[in-house]
Structure 1
Amino acid sequence: MMTVALIIPARNAGAHLDRLLPALTAQTLQPDTVLVVDSSSTDDTVSRFRQFGARVEVIAAQQFNHGGTRRWASEQVDADALILLTQDAIPASPQTFANLIQELEEDPRIGLAYGRQLPHPGAGILEAQSRHFNYSPQSRSKSLADAGELGIKTCFSSDSFSVYRRSALQAVGGFPEDVIGSEDAHVAARMLLNGYLVRYAASACVQHSHSYSLMQEFRRYFDIGVFYGREPWIREAFGTAGGEGKRYVQAELRALRDAGQLQRVPEVLLRSALKLLGYRLGHAEQHLPTPLKRRLSMFSNYWT
């Protein structure tokens, strides 16, 4: 059987721990190691995770990097499979971890698997629609041959809840040292190019969703644009998102119609325009001054 390590990056996670810690305790598959990398929380995150029994390593908040911190954390544990979980992703059933590992083990060519994300209880219509659009109820293994059908979505993955086969992760060089985000897509793309499969594990569910403001959405897509602008090899290998944005907006409009909230259509159109603007600005970030990039980014420490 695989040995399993659970890695959780955290910062001021207290608001989530009342749900997260009981959900972790209830898992039928318990990790052999739990490592929390805390970015200098100012609440009781560190003490509560230590009381839970986790090993907690504290780093300076400015030291956190989506790729580099996960790379460092992966080197601190010795396990065959590395489960990555964010502090606000709550396992939806006691079988969540077991199902994720089971889907990883279905084929030795699978280098990583990422789970299904469901909306948090009480999530709004658009927040929930985002989860339903991106996370279907059917599992699927993706290979490089799927790029013609899926485009850039071929290397879609999410480290909000995922598991890496350690041998495959090491074979492709591990997590990138320095990225503004999307380290999951970076590793997935390298695995696909090296002949591995990426598994979407729909049987392994967490509750994870966000209610972003218009400006948060803009900043998030600015960072995504920065990532893909700096990693042109991904686009060259897998293509673009094609009509994915249009399909997403159409799905949002249908969700509003079904909920009798068509008065929110202007919000959807404005939000979509801000996403596109943010992405394009991020893609052209080399032409922008650093102080402006710091203001436009959701991850301002990246530009320090």
Structure 2
Amino acid sequence: MAGYKDTFQNRFLCNQKGWGTIIRTYVRNMMKKLDLNSIKISLIIPTLNAAEYMPGLIDILGRQNRKPDEIIVIDSESEDATVRMAEQAGFRTLKVKRSEFDHGGTRNYAVAMSKGDIVMFLSQDALPSDEHYVENMLRGFENEDVVMISARQLPRKDAKPDEVLVRKFNYPAESFVRSEADIPKLGIKAYFFSDVCSAYRRDFFEDIGGFESPLLTNEDMLMAARALRAGYKIGYCATAQVYHSHNYTFKQQYKRNFDVAVFMETYKDEIKCDGTTGEGIRMVIFIEKKLLKQFKIGAAVHCIFDSAAKFLGNRAGRKWKRKNA
């Protein structure tokens, strides 16, 4: 796996040393020639003990109007029937050691082993909402300047009231495209992107150097930042939708935001914009107003404690990184 990671990194270093303009011009010219009706699509799903999700994924992916040319499950030593179910469904399976899983490097390995002109990623617990998911994602690439697209995430039926509103705040019903020019206006939101449900032009992915590796979290956000800084555009497709949400405990929220804060502090020179605190406050105010208007007092109280766990995790993560830099 390291060999594939090195290949992507070497390309990125080459671009940084002066060849980038020439290569990007060539890549963009090639991208404009893509025929979205005939290109190959690879769909990559990282898995770990995903047997409970596999039946739903197998069913909806098999009913897509525009089927992927290959579906690759890259598994981290699952102890359940994940791999067997994937193989029975006709998916291609790759395996990595759980101890070597890396959000950036593992995905780089899967891309290197794939053949698609468009590479899509889907989390094991993200379920496309209908048969049009793949074709709707593809339509986003009709804009020839767009090189990466993320889909809309809808709450699952068991989502807590505040989590439902988090999804509404972060994933609007309108599609849009962002460029570097939008960073001053959007701040941290300009880099908002999720590999829970995403798609990339392969030529761009290889040109930019693939994902950073090793990386604990947010490989998608860092890729978005690098794409924008390199002059590319990234898209959000609201018509391509998946059901995906989490009912995290306060402890899980603390840990998750600790990790994100370490990431943000590590790559603060690349993700230059207003901090995450202001956006977080806006989201909390939005959620509290909605919950109180609906007289969901318990949910409003839960949101306050949940937000406190996020804030404390974020602050602790930044302090830890600064201390150990």
Kindly provide the amino acid, as one letter, of the partner of residue 139 in structure 2: Q
AA paired with 1:190? R
TM-score (ref. length: structure 2): 0.85
Give the counterpart of 2:275 among 228, 232, 240.
240
| Alpha-carbon distance change, 287 to 195 in structure 1, aligned in 2, over 3 angstroms | closer
2:196 corresponding residue in structure 1 = 160
Gaps of 5+ in 2: 1-37
Deviation at 1:183, TM superposition (A): 0.2
Question: Are residues 1:171 and 2:207 paired?
Answer: yes
| Residues paired across the two proteins, number | 287
Out of 66, 89, 93, the position equivalent to 1:52 is: 89
Whether contact under 8 Å (1:217, 1:274) holds in the other structure is yes
Decide which of 80, 84, 88 is 2:125's aligned counterpart.
88
Q: 1:257 aligns with which of 263, 285, 292?
A: 292
Q: Matches of 1:161 and 1:263 in 2, distance apart?
A: 31
For the Cα contact (< 8 Å) 1:147–1:239, is it kept in 2? no
2:257 alignment partner AA: Y
Matches within 5 A, 1:262-301: 262-286=297-321
Distance 2:276 2:161 in 1: 24
Shift of 1:17: 1.6
Q: 1:215 and 2:251 equivalent?
A: yes
Q: Deviation string for 1:68-111 (max 9, x for gaps)?
A: 111111111111100000000000010011100111x2212111
Equivalent residue, structure 1, for 2:103: 66
Match of 1:230 in 2: 266
Residue identity opposite 2:199 in structure 1: V
Q: Is the 8 Å Cα contact of residues 180 and 226 (structure 1) preserved in structure 2?
A: no
Provide the rounded CA distance (Å) in 1 between the counterparts of 2:120 and 2:167: 20
CA distance in 1 between counterparts of 2:86 and 2:263 reads 32
Provide the residue aligned with 2:229 in structure 1. 193
Of the candidates 147, 151, 162, which is equivalent to residue 111 of structure 1? 147
Deviation at 1:242, TM superposition (A): 5.8
Deviation of the 1:127 alpha carbon: 1.7
Percentage of pairs with the same residue: 34
Cα offsets for 1:265-302 (capped at 9, x unmatched) = 3322222121111112112223668xxxxxxxxxxxxx
Partner of 1:293: none
- Mapped contact 2:161–2:299 kept (Cα < 8 A): no
How far the C-alpha of 1:260 sits from its partner, in A, is: 2.0
Q: Does 1:100 align with 2:137?
A: yes
Q: 1:198 to 1:287 in 2, by over 3 A?
A: closer
CA deviations on 1:193-224 (whole Å, 9 max, x unpaired) are 11110100111011111111111111110110
CA distance in structure 1 between the aligned counterparts of 2:321 and 2:159, rounded to whole angstroms: 36
Check conservation: 1:151, 1:242, Cα contact below 8 A. no
Is residue 164 of structure 2 the alignment partner of residue 128 of structure 1? yes
Query: How far does residue 251 in structure 1 lie from its aligned partner after superposition?
Result: 1.8
Alignment root-mean-square deviation, CA: 1.4
Q: Which residue of 38, 46, 52 maps to 1:9?
A: 46
TM-score relative to the length of structure 1: 0.91
